[in-house]
Amino acid sequence: MKEKSAEEHFKMGNMELAFELFKKRAEDMTFEPGIRSDAFNMMGVLVNAYLPGDKIKDITGYSLFERAIELNPDNAGALCNIIMTFGDGDFEHLNKTTAIWACERVLHGKFDPGIETKLLEEIQERYNRLLT
């Protein structure tokens, strides 16, 4: 029987196993940078939204989003996650320079297309606030 993928475990709600499988993919140098970047981004999502802090020590969603961007500066998901977690309560980071850079990258079309109009409008609003 074929082993389930990280994405399948994520959809089934097996968040800890999904994290471990994404981590394995992210750290495997035989995968292309884009695939590894997507895995780091998903790890960040899992750390921020689903996994309790006592299970994943010394890792933040933001640090994982940064790793994703290092591998693929056009990773739309990681760019949006950096923007949306800036100063956002529970999962916040305070790196204003990176948040501005990510906004500019998304708003000027230097990303993988597919970001919804409503999200782009929210990013524009956040960008405007960051500049004031």
Name 113's Cβ contacts closer than 8 Å, sequence gap at least 6. Answer: 76
The pLDDT of residue 38: 96
Measured distance CA(37)–CA(14) in Å, rounded = 21
Which CATH code for domain 6-131?
1.25.40.10
- Other CB atoms within 10 Å distance of the CB of residue 16: 14
The pLDDT of residue 66: 93
The pLDDT of residue 113: 58
pLDDT along the chain (132 residues), means of 10: 87 92 97 96 89 63 92 91 80 81 83 70 90 88
The pLDDT of residue 96: 87
Q: What does 30-85 look like in DSSP terms, one character per residue?
A: TS-HHHHHHHHHHHHHHHHHTS-TTTSTT--HHHHHHHHHHH-TT-HHHHHHHHHT
